[in-house]
Amino acid sequence: MDSNALKAFLTIVDQGSFSEAAEQLHLTQPAISKRLAALENQLGTPLIDRSNRQIRLTDSGSRLLPHARKILDEIHNARVALSPNSGQIEGELQIIASHHIGLHHLPKWLRRFKREHPHVTINLQFMESDAAYEQMRKRNAELAFVTLSDSMLPSFNVFAQWPDPMAFVVGSDHPLATMLKPTLADLAKHPALLPDTSTSTYRVVSRLFLEANLPLQPQMPTNYLETLKMMASVGLGWSVLPLRMVDGSLKVLEGVLTEETKPGHPVTRVLGGIGLTGRQPGNAAKALLAIVQEEEGNQNKG
């Protein structure tokens, strides 16, 4: 079974289009169609239903899909196992990072990585964490640096993780800024500037208000924390942001956590580097992970 044909099959499925799959693999559309046809001829069964405008798997295609991913993962693992364990690290490394990690963590990692491993070409994509999980499932990157999810599937392996403590904040001109120890009940009277309801940050904050039987007034949701910081700084509402983002434009609301939250329910989140279970990281990925673990470990000690 030809690995290139399997890769063509998977890319067509993941992209949902022959033309987009061809572009992804740097092939012509007739070439990728030929690879799929050769695989179907070898297996003696159609894998994709071509009678509709949308890509649909046949029953045989659905049964082949998980095996095709495992086969290509094992080919990848074999290449990793046969690669030199020492000496110069080179080649290409595809990684994904959330926007927040890209702004506040990634620069120091990559600065050091490029200095220590100048022969590695890094292909970097930025996207929201939920989208990163999906791209990793499609094998479109070797590593992703994201907010770890409490509902993360077992198909993902966490290679590195570190806490990202957060705080309730407002702009200096907001009415809550003048209160000595505002409570959740005080916050409930004002608009909340929070990320989308699908994010771990929103779920943590929402749970606090639900347990206190208080209403939450979310306004203008956005997953870009820099945008939430700007809106909070000009007085449009209160927010919950990572402590490392707090500067002179914001005031931390002291006392909210200590007075109204229960032990084990801090407003925090965990960031981390993930890969796919059963797919071994290559030498370049291992080198980057070592830097991440050391840099974030030093940061937390500091």
> Could you please report the per-residue DSSP string of the chain?
--HHHHHHHHHHHHHTSHHHHHHHTT--HHHHHHHHHHHHHHHTS--EE-SSSS-EE-HHHHHHHHHHHHHHHHHHHHHHHHS-SSS---EEEEEEE-HHHHHHTHHHHHHHHHHH-TTEEEEEEE--HHHHHHHHHTT--SEEEEEPPTT--TTEEEEEEEEEEEEEEEETTSGGGG-SS--HHHHTTS-EE---TTSHHHHHHHHHHHHTT----B-S--S-HHHHHHHHHTTS-EEEEEGGG--TTEEE-TTHHHHHPPTT--SEEEEEEEEETT----HHHHHHHHHHHHHHHHHHH-
Same domain, yes or no, for 228 and 251? yes
Full domain range(s) for residue 51: 3-82
> Where does a domain end: 58, 82, 106?
82
Same domain, yes or no, for 133 and 230? yes
> Where does a domain end: 82, 111, 134?
82
Output the domain CATH number for residue 74. 1.10.10.10
From first to last of its 302 residues, the chain has per-residue pLDDT tens of 789 999 999 999 998 899 999 998 999 999 999 999 999 999 999 999 987 778 899 999 999 999 999 999 999 999 888 887 666 788 999 999 999 999 999 999 999 999 999 999 999 999 988 899 999 999 999 999 999 987 788 899 999 999 998 999 999 999 999 998 898 999 999 999 999 888 888 888 998 899 889 999 988 778 889 999 999 999 999 999 999 899 999 999 987 754 444 444 457 889 999 999 999 999 999 999 999 999 988 766 55
The number of distinct structural domains making up the chain is: 2
Output the domain CATH number for residue 129. 3.40.190.290
Same domain, yes or no, for 33 and 104? no
Same domain, yes or no, for 151 and 182? yes
